[in-house]
Amino acid sequence: MKDLLPAPADYRLEGRVWVQGPHDRFLGIGRLELLAQIQATGSISRAAAAMGMSYKRAWDLVHSMNTQALAPLVATQTGGKSGGGALLTSAGSQAVADFQGVQTRFQAFLAEETRRLAE
């Protein structure tokens, strides 16, 4: 592409990847970050706030993941001390770790291809 573009350094390969199930999306970068925020904050509502996302959307995403997986990724509690909360199950932590690996390798792919664009 180098001789196709006026300023090749300003162009790069970007992209997104996600794990797709038979019916719905299972995991993507947004859901990954949501899981990480739930882990960090201990609640869906605080995770949503931290991401500038509505609570409903966050809950829907959690629901989608929990119902698709063999075991829930997020365990929730309604009521109780400080109103309740949410935390990652071991399945949840494993999903986070696994998909972070995918993301890391994908970023490497994009960087390598961006390098190629300029040659």
Partner DNA sequence: AAGCGTTATGTTTGTGAAAATATAACCTTC
Partner DNA sequence: GAAGGTTATATTTTCACAAACATAACGCTT
Does residue 79 come out as left (phi exceeding 0), alpha (psi in the -120 to 50 range) or beta? Answer: left
Q: By CB under 8 A, what part of segment 1-60 binds its own copies?
A: 1, 3-7, 10-22, 26
Strand 74-78 relative to strand 84-88, pairing: antiparallel
Choose from DNA, its own copies, none: what does 97 bind? Cβ within 5-8 Å by kind: none
Choose from DNA, its own copies, none: what does 11 bind? Cβ within 5-8 Å by kind: its own copies
Among 54, 109, 111, 118, binds its own copies (CB under 8 A): 109
Told to check if 55 binds DNA by CB under 7 A, we report: yes
> Which residues are within 8 A (CB) of 16 and not within 5 positions of it... i.e. 6 or more apart?
28, 29
Q: How far apart are CA 44 and CA 41, in angstroms?
A: 8
Choose from DNA, its own copies, none: what does 87 bind? Cβ within 5-8 Å by kind: none
